[in-house]
Amino acid sequence: MDEHLAANRANWDDRAAAHAARDGLGYRVERYVADRDRISDVVAFDRERLGDIRGVRAVHLQCHIGTDTLSLGRLGARVTGLDFSSVAVAEARALVAESGDAGSVDFVVSDVDGATTVLGTGGFDLVYTGIGALCWLPSIERWAGVVAALLKPGGRLFLREGHPILWTMDETLDDDLHLRHPYFEQETPLSWDDASSYVATGRPLTATKTYEWNHGLGEIVTALLDRGLVLTMLVEHDSVPWEALPGQMTERPDGEFALAERAGVAPLSFTLQAEKPLR
Ligand SMILES: C[S@@+](CC[C@H](N)C(=O)[O-])C[C@H]1O[C@@H](n2cnc3c(N)ncnc32)[C@H](O)[C@@H]1O
Q: What is the pLDDT of residues 216-227, one digit of tens each?
A: 999 999 999 999
List all residues 6 or more positions away from 197 whose beta carbon is below 8 Å from its beta carbon: 15, 18, 19, 205
Q: Which atom of ligand 1 is nearest to the CA of 66?
A: 9
Q: What is the pLDDT of residues 234-277, one digit of tens each?
A: 999 999 999 999 999 999 999 999 999 988 899 999 999 999 99
Report the nearest-CA residue for atom 16 of ligand 1: 136
Beta pairing partners, 19: none
Q: Which structural domain range is residue 237 located in?
A: 3-275
In this prediction, residue 2 carries a pLDDT of: 92
54 falls in which pLDDT band (50, 70, 90)? very high
One-character DSSP codes across 29-87: THHHHH-TT---HHHHHTHHHH---TT-EEEEET-TTSHHHHHHHHTT-EEEEEES-HH
Residues with CB under 6 A from ligand 1: 5, 8, 12, 62, 64, 67-68, 83-85, 88, 111-112, 131-133, 136-137
What's the gap in Å between 279 CA and the centre of ligand 1? 31
Q: What is the pLDDT of residues 186-240, one digit of tens each?
A: 999 999 999 999 988 988 999 999 999 999 999 999 999 999 999 999 999 999 9
191 touches 209 (CB < 8 A): yes
Q: Which atom of ligand 1 is nearest to the CA of 40?
A: 9
In this prediction, residue 175 carries a pLDDT of: 87
Quote the pTM value.
Answer: 0.97
Provide the greatest CA pair distance for the chain: 51
What's the gap in Å between 16 CA and the centre of ligand 1? 10
Mutate to test the pocket of ligand 1, among 5, 62, 256 (most ligand atoms within 8 A of CB): 62
Report the CATH number that the domain containing residue 269 is assigned in CATH.
3.40.50.150
What's the gap in Å between 63 CA and the centre of ligand 1? 6
Could you give the angle at the alpha carbon of 117 between the alpha carbons of 149 and 43, nearest 5°? 60
The domain tally of the chain equals 1
